[in-house]
Amino acid sequence: MPPPPAELPGRDALTSRIVPCMVLSDGSVSSMTPPPQVVALRDPAQAASDRFSVRGTIVVTGGAGTLGLVACDALLEHGASGLMIFDMNPAAAQKEIDSLRLKFPKANIAAQAVDVTDENAIGAAVEETATMMGSVDGIVCFAGVVGCIETLEMPISQWRKVLDINTTGSLICAQAVARQMVRQGTGGFITFVASISAHRVNFPQPQAAYNVSKAALLMLKSCLAAEWARYGIRTNTISPGYMDTILNEGDGIAKHREIWAARNPSGRMGSPSELTGAVVLLASAAGTYINGADLVVDGGAIVF
């Protein structure tokens, strides 16, 4: 369970406060961030496979959604021995989860119904994952919501909900997983799914709350990359462009789809499978020196 919240100092106590100092790794062989071992005379095919190998148990939040399920499949293809899906309603994807079990019979695959904004529930879910699967070695945070509304008309309750799920929910999950990794002493990775909406204002739809919630993830990623590297934990973000999923379908959004494609050098939206390369890279042995980075996967839309 998480520790009780610390009290913020009162105004009179500010002059006597003690501010903690960040500790960085020294990068030595005995640290949690050692240089890689050079292996000579390996079989080329095996070396290629090892380079993008994924180890251990990976948690995927929002894993019952389209993007989450495709990412789960890719992580298992590259060697993850355990997969835990956190989702509000994993039963909605039971058929797809069962298919993963058939495709990867040697992997331990499970799902938990959990709300990413519930600190106690997430802490308990991470502990259960570690008990069930032996360890927690990484997390990919897909869980999120979007709302398109004129900011003049937006209820503040909607603003709070979007930031609570997208930003605070990601922190809650990262913190719980990082605490488990520190207890294990094994390190691992954290990947937040941000968005091109974190980099620029979307057009033509207004969605200030979503954009702010994703921009906050970029800074959160950088802070955690600095603070947690000494534990062997790498923290990065992926910023997808418009992906061709059910969330972006329907006649009511047809004009928007035309505009998004017209403003993209690639002339189209992305396929969910086109996000998996970034997911695997950040989770794999090839990503051991990638920390605090943001990978934009948008077909080039960000150049405009």
- Tell me the C-alpha distance between 17 and 10, whole Å: 10
Is residue 125 within 8 A of residue 112, CB to CB? The reply is yes
Catalytic choice (213, 214, 221, 239): 214
Q: Is 206 helix (H, G, I), strand (E, B) or coil?
A: coil
Q: List the catalytic residue out of 195, 197, 239, 284.
A: 195
Closest CA to 59 of 175, 146, 182: 175
User: What counts of helices (H) and strands (E) characterise the chain?
Assistant: 9, 7
Specify whether 221 is catalytic: no
Q: Which residues pair with 188 in a beta bridge?
A: 233
Q: What are the Cα distances from residue 64, in Å, to 17, 109, 296?
A: 45, 13, 23
CA–CA–CA angle 203, 207, 209 (5° rounding): 145
Residues 6+ positions from 195 with CB-CB distance below 8 Å: 210, 211, 214, 239, 240
Catalytic residue among 81, 135, 210, 231: 210
Pairing of β 82-87 and β 57-61: parallel
Contact (CB, 8 A) for 297 and 273 = no
Q: Note if 195 is an active site residue.
A: yes
Encoded amino acid at 259, one letter: I
Q: Which two tokens stand for residue 47?
A: 């070396």
Residues belonging to the active site: 195, 210, 214
